[in-house]
A and B are shown apart, each in its own frame.
Chain A
Amino acid sequence: MNNPDKPIDPEREKRKIKSVKRMKDIMTHYYIDAKTTDQTGKKVAWITSGGPVEPLIAMDVIPVYPENHGAMIGAAKMGVDLCEKAEEMGYSSDLCSYARADIACATVNGGPIGGLPRPDMLVCCNNICGTVLKWYEVQARYFKVPLFILDTPFNHTEYTKEAYAYVRAQLNEYIAFLETHCRKQFDFDRLAEVGRLSMAGQRLWQQVLDTAVHRPAPMSAFDAFFHLALIVTLRGTRTVVDYYTELLDEMKTRVATGIAVVPGEKYRLLWDNLPVWFRTRWLSDKFAAHAACLVADTYTSSWCGTLKYLDENDFFGSMAEGYSRVYINIGTDQMAGMVMDMVDKYSADGLVIHSNRSCKPYSLGQYDIQRIVQEKRGIPSLVIEADMTDARNFSESQIDTRIDAFMEVLKS
């Protein structure tokens, strides 16, 4: 916003990512579309962030993401209110704050966009957690709409043929579910096309993230948290491909012209877990003040991490593996391995671990990951106790001190 009392800092202006505006427009249009289906007659499905969205796109169903909504609620600092409301409804304050905020929001149409559009159906994929199963059961009872569950067995040490056969069979059930509730036949050619666009979008997103291997990095994890929304919500559309193409160009230009997102970047850090949505700005400034840039994170890369399992020529068939082997549906030691790959790839000097009270499958095991990375890569790490949406679980003074102390270790 233009504040007349505050002169525009040309340095800061130069570092701003220009695509941000376009991204905001796309998201605004997307939510307008989703909220005006009474005029267009389109159907709305609520789907989990790691869920198989492509068949919905192929069916012209508008996918809506309660988790993305949860992130918006968090960023708008409306999380505490809604979480408290859920607690009044009887939900324990120890449950995932996305779930609490969403469950409460559905009953009052609150939050930054006046609530999500009412779902015609719910699609829940448990590849991220068991929480979404319970959460979607709550919403299925509340909205009295059909619920489809894609059950993707956890991969502790191996991806089994039994699990593959099970998920593959469920994909057929998913199509049948959509045909029933959309009252039309599924078009597999259309899905093949959507699949190609989905993969193209994922590749571009990975390339965008990869630009941060450059020193200084043209973008940080905080930027990735923002630009992530598209690969989550509109994966499988042309819009995503076009947008990330543009964003990638901008990043390449920044690299070519030496624009650093953190001026005087000295330290490169890797972030683990979801963002702290209500404090991203504060955290980003805090690290930048130490000349530290969070060059990558394990969270945003999850939406392009399974490209190697997807097959452009058999997208439908390969979805079984692609959706089963996502980052948090694998063993802690495999996750540690991926963290180390990222440490190497992005030349990280340290690891910042967000121990997220809301997300047990992401957070339990982090101490072991920390230990393994410390042993094998010898880099220091910091654990921040927080939550992605519920600001009651964030102690600013404590975290401030801990970051300072951690940076002292890095600098010495």
Chain B
Amino acid sequence: MQHSKQFQDIFADPKAYARRWKEKTGGKVIGTLCSYAPEELILAGGALGFRIVGGSGSISKADAHLQSYSCSLVRGALEDALNEQLDFLGGAIFPHTCDSIQRLSDIWRMNAETGFHLDVVLPVKLNTQSARNYMAAVMRKARTDLEAVLDKIITDDDLQKAIGTYNGIRSAMKRLYTLRRDRPGTIDGSDVHAIVRASMVMDRNDFLNSLTQVVESLEQQPEPESKTGKRIFFSGGVCNLPDVYSVIESAGGTVVGDDLCTGFRGLTGLIDIGGDPMDAIADRYARRAICPAKHSGITRRGDDLVRLAKETRAQGVIFLFLKFCDPHAFDYPYLKSMLDAEGIPSLLLELEEQIPSEGQFRTRCEAFMEML
């Protein structure tokens, strides 16, 4: 699709984009490891948040620090950091998430040369008042810490502007996802994926402008030939594999929604405006779609998944996890049984760095589509 060319370009080489951005603006690029990174603060501080979702090649240096039973995201990210692939970073921010990222932060801090290192130790529990208070306190601390490393005061005004941008992005992404749900032929899965990935790297104000244009033009397009593919919902974690979409599509499926970590999960929830900006930011973090490494009741993810699968009228759900990802692997059996109870079939695809064997992957997808 022509509109998404610039997103595809960034997605193809996000590092080159970040380098150019840095050269052009003289600003700092900050690597982030999770969708709970305090993006609004980074933007308000005039820096560029750069989400790290894995490595770019084979692993050698990281093997000296990480056992083979850590996920490919953690290993790949460290490999890039040790290999000077991330030398454009002015710093890195580690929100607290899973056990593997928790230790990656320590190992990174001790070994990588990527500028400053900030840990944002968020609460794991999100559904109590004391957790919300702590969330807000942690965000305030992150603001002060960022001010120190960026040598810049982050004013409430800066914050309000950043909130405006992020609310804009999240609203526009919601429209894009609605389009994809209601008119699945309008945009390819891999284009949506490229847009989501660009949202984690691109200058956020530029991104908002481009995204808005794309969404508006898509909305005005005449209804496409209705796609006959089986409606598929993706559930799971980090997925930096565009091929997944083409495999699904050539197997006769159309992706109509997702709750992926590198998908819609981080883009949910708007920030209230008008009140104290820090409280409002913290509040959204507690309300947005939850990551399995966090707790907000014992069936929250299952309830959300069933609701989304129904809303998107999904005929089947495909779970996509990285091998060795504990939080997702723990949730899988109950999520599957909640879907079973609703008569929604599902398929689990555990991914390594690369699709393990394209052939096998394709066969499984095709078999699943046929079953639907």
Query: Which of A89, A134, A360, A361 has the most chain B CB atoms inside 10 A of its CB?
Result: A360
> When the two chains form their complex, are residues A357 and B69 in contact, meaning their CB atoms are under 8 A apart?
yes
Asked if A170 and B124 sit within 8 Å, CB to CB, the answer is no
Are A89 and B333 in touch, CB under 8 angstroms?
yes
Residues of B contacting A140 with CB < 8 Å?
Answer: 298
Contact at B125–A151, with CB atoms within 8 Å? yes
In the complex, the answer to whether A332 meets B330 with C-beta atoms within 8 Å is: no
Q: Which residues of B contact A360 (CB under 8 A)?
A: 69-70, 99-100, 103, 326
Task: Digitize B78-122: 1 where CB-to-A-CB distance is under 8 Å, 0 elsewhere.
Answer: 000000000000000010101110111111011100000001011
Q: How far is the CA of A332 from the CA of B298 in the complex (A)?
A: 31
**Which residue in A134, A147, A155, A162 is a CB contact (below 8 Å) of B330?**
A134
Interface status of A156 (Cβ within 8 A of chain B): yes
Q: Closest approach, in angstroms, between the C-beta of B220 and any C-beta of chain A?
A: 45
Contact assessment for B336 and A361 in the assembled complex, using a CB-CB cutoff below 8 Å: no
- Residues of B within 8 Å of A333, CB to CB, are 106, 110
Closest CB of chain B to A119's CB: distance in Å? 14
Given A137-B298, A151-B125, A170-B130 in contact, is the A156-B109 Cβ separation under 8 Å?
A: yes
Q: Is A271 an interface residue (CB 8 A)?
A: no
CB distance from B237 to the nearest CB of A (A): 13
Q: CB distance B70 to A162 under 8 Å?
A: no
Query: Which residue from chain A places its CB closest to the CB of B103 in the assembled complex?
Result: A364
Once the chains bind, are A134 and B67 in contact (CB under 8 Å)? no
Whether A137 touches B123, Cβ cut-off 8 Å, given contacts A154-B96, A365-B107, is: no
* Interchain CB contact (< 8 A) of B121 among A129, A133, A149, A153: A153
A179 partner residues in chain B, CB cutoff 8 A = none
Given contacts A95-B330, A355-B67, contact A156 B99 (CB under 8 A): no
Q: Could you tell me the distance between the alpha carbons of A133 and B130 in the complex, rounded to whole angstroms?
A: 18
Instruction: Flag if B125 contacts A149 (CB, 8 Å).
Output: yes
Interface check A141, CB cutoff 8 A: yes
Given A130-B326, A147-B298, A360-B70, check contact A169 B133 (CB 8 Å): yes
User: Do B293 and A165 touch across chains, with their CB atoms under 8 A apart?
Assistant: no
Q: B134: CB under 8 A from chain A? A: yes
When distances are taken between beta carbons in the complex, the residues of chain B under 8 Å from A147 are 298
Interface string of B294-308 (1 = CB under 8 A from A): 010011000000000
A window 118-133: CB within 8 A of B: 126, 129-131, 133
Cβ-based interface call for A94 (8 A): yes
Separation of A411 and B4 alpha carbons in the complex (Å): 65
Q: Is B245 an interface residue (CB 8 A)?
A: no
B15 to chain A, nearest CB (A): 25
| B residues in contact with A126, CB < 8 Å | 124
Q: Chain A nearest CB: distance from B261 CB in Å?
A: 15
Instruction: Report how many A-B pairs have Cβ atoms within 8 Å.
Output: 148
Q: Contact partner of A130 among B98, B106, B137, B138, CB < 8 A?
A: B98
**A226 interface residue per 8 A CB criterion:** no
Set of chain B residues within 8 Å of A95, measured between Cβ atoms: 326, 329-330
Q: Mark B318-340, 1 if CB is under 8 A from A, else 0.
A: 00000110110111111010000
Does B152 touch A at the CB level, under 8 Å?
no
- Asked if B5 lies at the interface with its beta carbon under 8 angstroms from chain A, I say no
Q: In the complex, which residue of chain A has the Cβ closest to the Cβ of B350? A: A92
Does B227 count as interface, using CB distance less than 8 angstroms? no
Cβ of B66 within 8 Å of any chain A Cβ, yes or no, is yes
B contact face: mostly helix, strand, loop, or mixed:
helix
A366–B67 Cα distance when bound, in Å, is 9
Known: A151-B124, A357-B69. A364 touches B99 (CB 8 A): yes
Residues from chain A with Cβ under 8 Å of B124 in the complex: 126, 130, 133, 149, 151, 153
- Contact residues in B for A94 (Cβ distance below 8 Å): 69, 323-324, 326, 329
- What mask results when residues 141 to 177 of chain A are scored 1 for a CB within 8 Å of chain B, else 0? 1000001010101111100101101100110010000
- Determine whether B310 belongs to the interface, using a CB cutoff of 8 Å to chain A: no
Q: Are B70 and A166 in contact (CB under 8 A)?
A: no
Whether A367 touches B106, Cβ cut-off 8 Å, given contacts A141-B334, A166-B133, A360-B99, is no
- B287 touches A (CB below 8 Å): no
Q: Say yes or no: is A91 at the interface (Cβ < 8 Å to chain B).
A: yes
Are A169 and B65 in touch, CB under 8 angstroms?
A: no
Which residues of the partner chain A approach B350 to less than 8 Å between Cβ atoms? 92
**Distance (whole angstroms) from the CB of A320 to the closest CB of chain B:** 12
Question: How many Å lie between the Cα of A86 and that of B26 in the bound state?
Answer: 53
- B residues within 8 A CB of A165? 133-134, 137
Contact of A367 with B329 in the complex, beta carbons under 8 Å: no
Q: Provided the pairs A166-B134, A368-B65 are in contact, do residues A361 and B102 lie with their beta carbons within 8 angstroms?
A: yes
Question: Within 8 Å CB of A89, what residues of B?
Answer: 333
Measured in the bound complex, the distance between the Cα atoms of B124 and A355 in whole Å is: 26
Q: Measured between alpha carbons, how far is A141 from B338 in the docked complex, in Å?
A: 12
Q: Within the complex, what minimum Cβ distance (angstroms) separates B240 from chain A?
A: 20
Q: Which 8 interchain pairs have the tightest Cβ spacing?
A: A134-B330, A90-B333, A364-B103, A166-B134, A332-B106, A92-B329, A169-B130, A162-B137
24 A-B pairs in the complex with CB atoms less than 8 angstroms apart? A90-B333, A95-B326, A95-B330, A99-B330, A130-B293, A130-B326, A134-B292, A134-B327, A141-B334, A149-B124, A153-B121, A154-B119, A156-B109, A157-B119, A165-B133, A166-B137, A169-B130, A332-B110, A333-B106, A333-B110, A363-B67, A366-B67, A367-B66, A368-B65
Task: List 8 additional contacts besides A138-B333, A154-B96; criterion CB under 8 Å.
Answer: A130-B99, A130-B102, A133-B124, A153-B121, A355-B67, A364-B67, A364-B100, A368-B107
